[in-house]
Copies of this chain bind each other. A is one copy, B any other.
Amino acid sequence: MNEVVVGIDIGGTFTKFGIVDREGNVYGESSIPTDFTDDVNLYVKDLHKAVMGLFDKVTQKLILKGIGIGAPNGNYYKGTIEFAPNLRWKGIIPLVEIFKNHFHVPVVLTNDANAAAIGEMIFGAAKGMKDFIVITLGTGLGSGIVVNGELVYGHDGFAGELGHTIVKLNGRMCGCGRRGCLETYVSAPGIKRTVFKLLSDTLYKSDLRRYSWDELTPEMISEAANAGDPVAIEAFEYTGEILASKLADAVAHTSPEAIFLLGGLANAGDLIFIPTRKFFEEKLLAIYKNKVKILPSGLADKNAAVMGASALIWKELEK
């Protein structure tokens, strides 16, 4: 009989989940659509069915110990999703309460980047580290901050929104309604905005001049940079410099041992890590120099979000 948990990653389009034991072994993974209904009760009912279906397919005998959930704007303290812009369920959703109508085990919820940080600590490259930060680079920029071995939730459960620290007064418009947020520069859409700015500011010859806004993808920017395109290369440099500057600020807050980058933009590898590390060391306050590592996630080969949600509930069960 193996003790397992279910880790659930709720995204705007898909909900992915997996059955994971304490050592990080994955017994099964699957997904359902997230956006098929406005009715969150119906969604959880369907998800319950799908999770039970996945258990039926596993031949080993398993005991379900708990459920961990990572979701946008997930509140750890209240078990709620609050005003998540990319989900169809509006307002404040008491998600953990709804889960408990279907699953009779402990259920814990936090936001996706916080779950990724706990995943890194329990299953990934932050094992044994007490102070570190995880930055998720996707359609936005998420962050999870760990201090003294514990995730920082803050007074209201919403700590760790580095994507919404300000790079520039009156800078780029952000989906949050303000201007100049870090994620408008450093994220998949952020680097695309930078490419368009460079196409406008420079006269560099660039293959990227052939694509419309709607056509251009982050992968095309990576490919162009690898092929030596000057606009694409400068876009990565600029992205790395802005990220480095805000990571240097983050060090002045919690002084971590390492900062992990994961998600789409981090998969560009050296294109983003090299400029980020170079500018980071330049920008750090003297007492912090040569102390803080910028590293790729140790979960890059797995579903980091599902592993994170699993780690979240394992950590909770050990309290």
B-binding residues in A (CB < 8 A): 73, 82-83, 130-131, 145, 147-148, 150, 152-162, 164-166, 169, 176-178, 245, 248-250, 252-257, 283, 285-288, 291-292
What residue of chain B has the Cβ atom nearest to residue A157's Cβ? B255
Given contacts A73-B287, A255-B158, contact A249 B166 (CB under 8 A): yes
Contacts of A283 in B (CB 8 A): 166, 178
Q: How far is the CA of A169 from the CA of B166 in the complex (A)?
A: 12
What residue of chain B has the Cβ atom nearest to residue A169's Cβ? B245
Contacts of A164 in B (CB 8 A): 252, 285
Contacts of A160 in B (CB 8 A): 252-253, 255
B250 in contact with A154 (CB, 8 Å)? no
Q: Among A82, A156, A286, A292, which residue has the most Cβ atoms of chain B within 10 A?
A: A156
Q: How far is the CA of A156 from the CA of B147 in the complex (A)?
A: 12
Number of chain copies forming the complex: 2
Contacts of A152 in B (CB 8 A): 147-148, 253-255
Identify the 3 closest CB pairs spanning chains A and B, nearest first.
A154-B255, A159-B255, A155-B257
B177 in contact with A253 (CB, 8 Å)? no
What residue of chain B has the Cβ atom nearest to residue A241's Cβ? B169
Contacts of A155 in B (CB 8 A): 130-131, 255-257, 291-292
What residue of chain B has the Cβ atom nearest to residue A159's Cβ? B255
6 contacts between A and B (CB under 8 A): A83-B287, A131-B155, A148-B150, A155-B292, A178-B283, A250-B253
Q: How far is the CA of A159 from the CA of B255 in the complex (A)?
A: 5
Q: How far is the CA of A201 from the CA of B160 in the complex (A)?
A: 38
Shortest Cβ gap from A95 to chain B (Å): 16
A286 in contact with B73 (CB, 8 Å)? no
Interface of A is mostly: loop
Q: How far is the CA of A314 from the CA of B131 in the complex (A)?
A: 25
Given contacts A166-B283, A176-B285, A249-B165, contact A131 B154 (CB under 8 A): yes
A252 in contact with B165 (CB, 8 Å)? yes
Contacts of A83 in B (CB 8 A): 286-287
Shortest Cβ gap from A277 to chain B (Å): 17
A252 in contact with B177 (CB, 8 Å)? no
Contacts of A156 in B (CB 8 A): 255, 287-288, 291
Additional 15 contacts, C-beta under 8 A, given A154-B255, A158-B255: A73-B287, A83-B286, A83-B287, A131-B155, A145-B254, A148-B153, A152-B253, A156-B288, A159-B255, A162-B253, A164-B285, A165-B252, A166-B248, A176-B285, A250-B253
Q: How far is the CA of A285 from the CA of B161 in the complex (A)?
A: 9
Contacts of A245 in B (CB 8 A): 166, 169
Shortest Cβ gap from A239 to chain B (Å): 15
Contacts of A131 in B (CB 8 A): 154-155, 159
Q: How far is the CA of A177 from the CA of B283 in the complex (A)?
A: 11
B253 in contact with A254 (CB, 8 Å)? yes
Given contacts A253-B145, A253-B253, A254-B152, contact A288 B158 (CB under 8 A): yes
